[in-house]
Structure 1
Amino acid sequence: MTHTAKRVSRRAFLLAACAAAGTATSLGACATGIFPFIPDHYTFSQQQVQDAVQRKFPYRRQMQQLFDVSLTNPVVMLEPDRNRIAVQLDAQLASPLIRQPVSGVFTLSSELAWDSASRSVVLKSPSVDRVDMQGAAAAYGQQVGAVVALAATQLLDNYPIHTFKPEQLQFAGVSYEPGTITILTNGIRVQIVEK
């Protein structure tokens, strides 16, 4: 029996089970409510990603024993055209190498990946896309950008933005896992496939 035939057979069995249960709900609602991955995907919202990222902030760290970095106020943006998530951050950097602390706004972006060990969709290889320094601090933009990029990468690389419960990826002895991850304008769609 082919992989597709097995999937169709399982779905037919589950829909028949829903119908046999005599519920007043539609088969689609039954499949979605009782067997959440039968529709073959899961979508979570931009707000859920915002809430997950927000838990890491404010973030303060000393870098290379010369810089005190402070990152605050993350704002998550979805970039479907690049299939990436962007995070805008307020940053402040103090160092004995500069007269006074400098501050600015940084935008990082990251692709998403599946981490099977933690059962999580994670940020992968974030990079600084834009640095906006304020006032006289603009002269330090490149140096500050490099320090902040290092701090942000260490903070957000492999950071989980959604973790699946074990029972969400198991049904009737069959294991499932995320496949293609697609950034939409209003959320993130994770394809669910049989292992």
Structure 2
Amino acid sequence: MTRPAAPARRRFLYAALIAGTLPGVTVSLAACASPTFPFMPSHYTFSQQQVQEAVQRKFPSQRTVSQVFDVALSNPVVGMQPDANRVSVRLDARFASPFLQQPVDGVFTLSSELAYDAASRSVILKSPSVDNVSVNGEAQVYTQQINAAAALLATQLLTNYPIYTFKPEQLQFAGVHYEPGTITILTNGIRVQIVEK
């Protein structure tokens, strides 16, 4: 008795989906679908944690800047700045120099806009800039030089650095090619619009 009921129930649900009588289901599918193909998402969203993991792969890092400062950077913490549509990265820094009696610790924060690089199919950090540098003790005398060193280092390390790379199959469907459009920073992630080429 129960066997015929299960296929009948499945047929009913299938018919209801096709007819659009289950609006909660069809709306949620349509919210992610492109107008051209119902199975191609109109956008991809990746989380702050995914960005954190991508940036973390770059650190720790140690560089000599302008042959004056040895700078060690570690412990990146990624933040979202939706109001400015930028991503921030806070880094612990350790500075050593012949001008300093001993290495000093500090923190600097940079922020960056995002862009799409078609050659690598990646969302990249674009034009990062240093927002704030804080150092301890005697290094405060050299704040201007440390700011310049931090800015140079940020440019060297993170300009065009990929934080998310699309797989080829994410950008094509039924012979039609797509590409990322508008990139929007959310409070807890990044949304990338997908548009037809």
Unaligned runs of 5+ in 2: 1-16, 19-24
Unaligned runs of 5+ in 1: 1-17, 20-25
Following the alignment from structure 2 to structure 1, what is the Cα–Cα distance between the partners of residues 179 and 52?
A: 23
Residue type at the aligned position of 1:102: V
Equivalent position of 1:10 in the other structure: none
Q: Are residues 115 and 190 of structure 1, via their aligned partners in 2, closer, same or farther at CA, if it must alter by over 3 Å?
A: same
Following the alignment from structure 1 to structure 2, what is the Cα–Cα distance between the partners of residues 36 and 129?
A: 43
SS at 1:177 equivalent: strand
Following the alignment from structure 1 to structure 2, what is the Cα–Cα distance between the partners of residues 100 and 160?
A: 35
Q: Number of aligned pairs?
A: 173
Q: Are residues 36 and 70 of structure 1, via their aligned partners in 2, closer, same or farther at CA, if it must alter by over 3 Å?
A: farther
Post-superposition offset of 1:49: 0.3
Post-superposition offset of 1:64: 2.7
Post-superposition offset of 1:36: 9.1
Equivalent position of 1:90 in the other structure: 92
SS at 1:154 equivalent: helix
The question of 1:130 aligning with 2:132 is answered yes
Following the alignment from structure 1 to structure 2, what is the Cα–Cα distance between the partners of residues 110 and 94?
A: 26
Contact 2:66 2:149 (C-alpha < 8 Å) held by counterparts: no
Q: Percent identity?
A: 70
Post-superposition offset of 1:133: 1.3
Equivalent position of 1:63 in the other structure: 65
The question of 1:116 aligning with 2:118 is answered yes
Give deviations 1:15-72, integer Å, cap 9, x for gaps: xxx95xxxxxx55559969x89733111101000000000000001122333211011
The question of 1:153 aligning with 2:155 is answered yes
Q: 1:152-191 to 2 correspondence within 5 Å?
A: 152-191=154-193
Larger Rg: 2
Following the alignment from structure 1 to structure 2, what is the Cα–Cα distance between the partners of residues 52 and 193?
A: 25
Higher mean alpha-carbon deviation, 136-145 vs 155-164, is at: 136-145
Following the alignment from structure 2 to structure 1, what is the Cα–Cα distance between the partners of residues 81 and 38?
A: 27
Post-superposition offset of 1:78: 0.2
Q: 1:135-146 to 2 correspondence within 5 Å?
A: 135-146=137-148
Following the alignment from structure 2 to structure 1, what is the Cα–Cα distance between the partners of residues 38 and 59?
A: 32
Residue type at the aligned position of 1:72: S
SS at 1:50 equivalent: helix
Residue type at the aligned position of 1:124: K
Following the alignment from structure 2 to structure 1, what is the Cα–Cα distance between the partners of residues 74 and 135?
A: 15
Equivalent position of 1:4 in the other structure: none
Q: Are residues 184 and 129 of structure 1, via their aligned partners in 2, closer, same or farther at CA, if it must alter by over 3 Å?
A: same
Following the alignment from structure 1 to structure 2, what is the Cα–Cα distance between the partners of residues 130 and 62?
A: 20
TM value normalised by structure 1: 0.81
Q: Are residues 108 and 37 of structure 1, via their aligned partners in 2, closer, same or farther at CA, if it must alter by over 3 Å?
A: farther
Contact 2:30 2:38 (C-alpha < 8 Å) held by counterparts: no
Residue type at the aligned position of 1:173: G
SS at 1:152 equivalent: helix
